[in-house]
Chain A
Amino acid sequence: MISLLDIIGPVMVGPSSSHTAGACRIGLFARGLVGGQPESAEVELHGSFARTGTGHGTDRAIAGGLLGFFPDDERLRDSLELAEAAGLRLKFSNTKLRGEHHPNTTRITLRREEHQAVVTGASLGAGRIMINEIDGFAVEVNGALPTLVFVAQDVPGIVSAVTTALARQGENIATIKVSRRQKGGAAIHIYELDQSPSPETLGVIRALPAVSHLRALPRIA
């Protein structure tokens, strides 16, 4: 759902809402997937991101997002230098992603300690984003709400166990999306919540035998 504040906003550092603010948010989302500041990130730029990214500061915006800066943070201007100082190794390249992709798309492969993630996201204009792929699973999520992401074996009862854990803490679910590559294979689960989940809830979900790669992402919009 779109908010009036998605249109009259974001308040942001210029010059481009899709190439700067949206790119920053994709970086923020990617950071959330590894649970904090990555040590390295490979950033592939596709389409218009590849063609005009440098002039728009797309590289600086994604780097800033990976550092945890929001689109209105004036430090975005100096994020490449700040990343180096913070020990975040960055590699940028232009690419042509296979299949249909929005003109402003980036794929980020990042690592923090034992955590790693590959995320593909598009900047849709006006600072809005859509994450299209996480670790090879097709998804549709935009980070507008606190989000739970995990991988689960395709066995019955996962959704019910997770929703019960959330309900026990009075935590309300806005949307649930499950997608798998094939029947019987692992599926990615994405729960958008009205508030950030409590440590108790995360503990219960993490303890489910079929669940792996649990991540709780803060709201980035």
Chain B
Amino acid sequence: MFESLGELVERAEKDGISLGELGLRLEAEGGLRTRDEVERGLTRALAVMRGAVERGLPGDLRSVSGLVGGDAARLTRPVGPLAGTVFTEVLAAALAVQEVNAAMGVIVAAPTAGGAGVLPGVLLGIAKLRPVPDAVLVRALATAGLIGAVVAHRASLSGAEGGCQAETGAAAGMAAGAGVEMLGGSPTVAAHAVALTMQGTLGLVCDPLGGLVEVPCVYRNATGGAIALAGIEMALAGIRFPIPVDEVIDTMGEIGRTMDVRYRETAGGGLAATPTGRKLAKERLVQLRRKGE
């Protein structure tokens, strides 16, 4: 059902509907859940996403290990060249959700908890300066779900299988397609946004310090959101990526399958294996163990 994004785009264009609407119709036809159930689920997801952004922005949370927290709050007072734009809103919201996640708060895995900040970051960050009705946001979540389902089918959504390209990378692709449709772009443009975004996250490793979903995960959700914004902006400007989106997704899967196990969530390589990464992990894990005693 969700096997080829290329075919789904063709079908949506032929029927004159968005990818999100197509996803809702296909799922209702499939019979696992009614349309009403899915829409209610997505509406709840939107509410939880909003709640997580709000919970994370004040900056009073610390992660279980104490390694992360309070950085989303810094971006509520941005001073760089992009202050006051959608860009900093997206970064702040993505950080906020991911800081809540690291503190064992309630979030929506979209598609995973490790990449949970990207989609709400992009959609709610854009909506903050360009408000849209909730119904449009719910439909955009359906778009993101459809894209993620194709990625799950063709590649993977697990950092342990495919590295961070399968988590924040997939989330960025989903957010880019959803963002385009939320802003009124066609399914074809949405698919190019997915391809333009995911080409930029290919090969991204999963290298969390101490195996905890904290560093670099929190920051990688923000940069994932930034790459999704780049994909959205390019696709809406009419840029077309030459490699079809399904082949980009397949490439992500292929890279993931051949990626060394050190870069797949095992904390054996990448930033986790740096001298400072090892030192911080050791200190924090010792503290965690003491706490548990």
Query: B198-236 toward A: CB 8 Å interface, digit per residue (1/0)?
Result: 000000000010111110000000000000000000000
Determine if A56 and B213 form an interchain contact, defined as CB atoms under 8 angstroms apart: yes
Number of interface residues of B (CB under 8 A): 63
Using A3-B27, A51-B267 as known contacts, say yes or no to A8 and B113 having CB atoms under 8 A apart.
Answer: no
- Interchain CB contact (< 8 A) of A12 among B42, B113, B159, B174: B113
* Number of cross-chain contacts by CB at 8 Å: 174
Contacts of A21 in B (CB 8 A): 109, 113
Using A4-B24, A5-B145 as known contacts, say yes or no to A12 and B213 having CB atoms under 8 A apart.
Answer: no
Query: B38-67 toward A: CB 8 Å interface, digit per residue (1/0)?
Result: 100110110010000000000000011100
- Interchain CB contact (< 8 A) of A11 among B44, B119, B288: B44
Using A3-B38, A56-B212 as known contacts, say yes or no to A15 and B101 having CB atoms under 8 A apart.
Answer: yes
Can you show 26 pairs from A to B with CB atoms below 8 A apart? Answer: A2-B2, A3-B27, A3-B33, A4-B38, A5-B33, A7-B174, A8-B108, A8-B119, A8-B148, A9-B110, A11-B45, A12-B106, A13-B106, A15-B101, A15-B104, A15-B113, A16-B112, A17-B116, A18-B159, A52-B211, A54-B285, A55-B210, A55-B211, A125-B160, A126-B111, A126-B112
Residues of B bordering A, CB below 8 Å = 1-2, 23-24, 27, 30, 32-33, 38, 41-42, 44-45, 48, 63-65, 100-114, 116, 119, 141-142, 144-146, 148-149, 152-153, 156-161, 166, 174, 208, 210-214, 264-267, 285, 288
3 residue pairs, one from A and one from B, having the closest CB atoms: A52-B211, A125-B158, A4-B145
Residues of A bordering B, CB below 8 Å = 1-18, 20-21, 47-48, 51-52, 54-57, 72, 74, 76-77, 102-104, 124-128, 144
